[in-house]
Structure 1
Amino acid sequence: MVSHTSRRTARGAFVATAAVVAATLPTSAANAQPSADDALKKYNELSEQASKLNQDHLKAQDDLAAKQAELDKAKNDLSEAQKAEESLRGQVDLLTEATYSGARFNQISALLVSDSQQDFLNRMSAINILAADNADALKRLTDAVEQADTATKTANDATEASKKLLAEIDQKKADLDKQLSEAQAQYRSLSAAVRSQMAQVGDTSNISVPAGTAGAALQFALNQIGKPYVYGSNGPNSWDCSSLIQAAYRSAGVSIGRTSYAQAAAGRSVSRGEVKAGDIIVYYSSQSHVAMAVDGIRAVHASTEGVPVKIADIDSIGPISVIRRIEG
């Protein structure tokens, strides 16, 4: 078992920040002002929307990478098909040229020019071989032309799809930037006391992690506590929710998808009552946020801008969509 002894506290969920702040701030009349609660609630809503747009943008980038790989393969297939077509066309041309140069024989001509029965049989054998070669070459040429046509269509389709994905990525990036701008403006409108509370690291208890892949992944995630959340960041100095989970399992030797959408399909499904250390917990019907279980009660996650990577109550983070187990 490995012990996590860092004094950094855990990171709260961006949609649960209002509840956390309400529970931890002094209950003076000033802190109980509805306008402060409304401002924080609005920030959480904007942050949740930004998180989804961030995952959408990341997914579009993954889709483009996959489509580019498909395009590269299609181009390679097209090149090979064209080379095969060129080679076979040359062979057919040689056979055709030989035919018109008098190299084509038939049974009568073979009989007339043969010096003996054996010579006749030899000539007939050569005629049959030539005919078979010609037919085979023609068939292979036809197949090569068809393959080249198919590869050309695939390459053209992949090219058009890539262009559409590039345009989609640009639009999603613009949407994300707009949403981030609104969320950041709302964050700046929060009181200093609220922002200070959001920046607290939280849980400072020692945590023992299990042996094996899940334990190694969890230890990595715990080691990131206190680092800032940045939309689209891949570490090592800052994270978004899904990059933290991906990096944690990568450190344990397991490859999972970059987005919370992909992670919602990783491993196998487990119920809320079965949750144990290292399980991936995906939140909201949109599956736009993800955390890693510390145990059956707590989870570590990168929640939102203004809040460091920290530990929170599993059920306080948001409505759970799916829980996935990578190991076991």
Structure 2
Amino acid sequence: MASYPVQRTVRAALAATAVLALAGGMSLPQAVADPVPPNASEALKKYNELSTQAEKLNEEHLRAQDDLSRAEGELDRANRDLTDAQHAQDLLRGQVDLLTEATFEGARFNQLSAILVSDSQQDFLNRMSALGILAGENAEAMDGLTAAVDKANDAARRATEAAGNANKAIEDIGRRKTALDEQITEARDAYRALPESERDALGDEGFTGHVPVPAGQAGQALAFALGERGKPYVYGSNGPDSWDCSSLMQAAYRSVGIAIPRTTYGQATIGRAVSLNEVKAGDLVIYYADQHHVSMAIDGIRAVHASTEGVPVKIQDIESIGPINTIRRVVG
């Protein structure tokens, strides 16, 4: 697992830029603070803990759905192979039956009878050649039938295995969905129990002004994500009115014609890995040892992400979101 130390030179440069901007009367967009500060109430800390657990279960549930889709695809392919093999088996079995019958009918034409009934040496050779061809075709058809039977049996085995995998995935999804529903309910109850002042602080949208983005697909994907600021986080949501962390990233890249996985686990494997020192706009930043959260980098300091229920899509300091696990560059 890679670690990402703070890039002192970049932060120093940003600080210097901030000083110059303030001296010139300019306003500089600030990174949003962590929604759960160290001095938060016990109720807020409990809510944050529960919502983090719910988010993790949500991503695991989505991964289980992906596993089910793959298993169902394997089952469909295996069933198609089985049908094709059985059809080929039936055709070849009929061919073998016809050739066997023809061979039996022509069995009296052995070498001796061929000599006795042949009008000439050439006629004898023609008869023997025909018998050889018939026997060869029969043997070839038998070989083909054997191969078709083996293929059908292999397809049946794979279909059975794929069906078992699909059933296991269905059972896994059921267990995860039950756990997820319980966790979400508990997190929402904890949110409703918060003082109004803390709910208002969680709901702060942060900086909503214009953020310049670079040209190209990564920049346009970032523009999409930034355009969703203020929309709520909902576990398992796929937009367009609400998001979870990974669905926002998927939709952002889909908007520029790039397909990426639905889950944080899948997103943690795409493109190529880069360090925090190399981070560029549009890079996906994956958090925590179990990779259950993701944001999109704006630059080396800030990122935009869907945080958790009760917290809108917003800009936040990259490292304040959580411990960085990996950063993936989707484009370039």
Distance in 2 separating the partners of 1:180 and 1:44: 12
2:329 equivalent to 1:325? yes
Which amino acid is the alignment partner of residue 229 of structure 2? Answer: I
SS of structure 2 residue aligned to 1:163:
helix
Alignment TM-score, normalising by the size of structure 1: 0.89
- Which residue matches 1:157? 161
- Selected match of 2:200 from 188, 196, 200: 196
Aligned to 2:36: 18
* 1:129 to 2:133 alignment: yes
**Pick aligned residue for 2:294 from 274, 290, 294:** 290
Q: Which residue of 2 aligns with 1:27?
A: none
Using the TM superposition, give the Cα deviation of residue 291 of structure 1 relative to its aligned residue in structure 2, in angstroms: 0.3
- Provide closer, same or farther for how the CA distance between residues 235 and 311 of structure 1 changes in structure 2, counting only shifts above 3 A: same
The aligned length equals 304
- Equivalent residues of 1:249, 1:256 under 8 A apart: yes
Separation (CA, whole Å) in 1 of partners of 2:136 and 2:31:
75
The match for 1:170 among 155, 169, 174 is: 174
8 Å Cα contact 1:98/1:104 also seen in 2:
no
Q: Please point out which of 233, 249, 253 is paired with 2:253.
A: 249
> In 2, Cα distance between the equivalents of 1:49 and 1:91?
63
Give % identity: 60
Equivalent of 2:277 in 273, 278, 287: 273
Q: Read off the aligned partner of 2:94 and give its amino acid letter.
A: G
Q: How far apart are the structure 2 equivalents of 1:216 and 1:196?
A: 31
Kept after mapping to 1: 8 A contact 2:81/2:155: yes
Alignment partner of 1:258: what SS?
A: coil
Structure 1 spans left out of the alignment, 5+ residues: 1-8, 23-31
Q: Deviations over 1:139-172 (max 9, x none)?
A: 0000000000000000011111111110100100
The one of 175, 183, 186 aligned to 1:179: 183
Q: TM-score, length-normalised on structure 2?
A: 0.88
Q: 1:10, 1:43 → 2: CA distance?
A: 25
| 1:179-236 Cα shifts (integer Å, max 9, x gaps) | 1111111111110011011111101342110011110110110111111111001111
After superposition, the C-alpha distances for 1:81-103 in whole angstroms (9 at most, x for unaligned) are: 00000000001111112233345
1:226 aligns to what? 230
Residue 295 of structure 1 and its aligned partner are, at CA, apart by 1.1
Distance in 1 separating the partners of 2:72 and 2:113: 58
- 2:12 is matched with which residue? none
Kindly provide the amino acid, as one letter, of the partner of residue 96 in structure 2. Answer: V
Partners of 1:286 and 1:297 in 2: how far apart? 23
Q: Which residue of 1 aligns with 2:25?
A: none
- Name the residue aligned to 2:308: 304
Letter in 1 for 2:36: A
User: How far 1:272 moved relative to its partner?
Assistant: 1.0
1: CA distance, partners of 2:32 / 2:233: 11
The CA distance in 2 between the partners of 1:277 and 1:209, in whole Å, is: 7
> After TM superposition, where is structure 1 displaced by more than 6 Å over at least 4 residues in a row?
9-13
- Following the alignment from structure 2 to structure 1, what is the Cα–Cα distance between the partners of residues 103 and 130? 13
Q: 271-280 or 94-103: which moved more? A: 94-103
Give SS of 2:89's match: helix
C-alpha distance in 1 between matches for 2:81 and 2:276: 48
Residues in 1 aligned to 2:120 and 2:198: alpha-carbon distance in whole angstroms: 109
Instruction: State the match for 1:145 in structure 2.
Output: 149
Residues 1:119 and 1:226: Cα distance change in structure 2 (over 3 Å): same
Deviation at residue 284 of structure 1 after TM alignment: 0.4
Tell me the distance in 2 between the aligned counterparts of 1:12 and 1:249: 24
Does the 8 Å CA contact 1:10/1:225 hold for their aligned counterparts? no
DSSP 3-state at the match of 2:285: strand
> RCO higher in 1 or 2 (8 Å CA, sep ≥ 6)?
1
Q: Distance in 2 between matches of 1:224 and 1:106?
A: 86
Partner of 2:3: none
- Equivalent in the alignment of 1:115: 119
Query: In structure 1, what is the equivalent of residue 318 of structure 2?
Result: 314
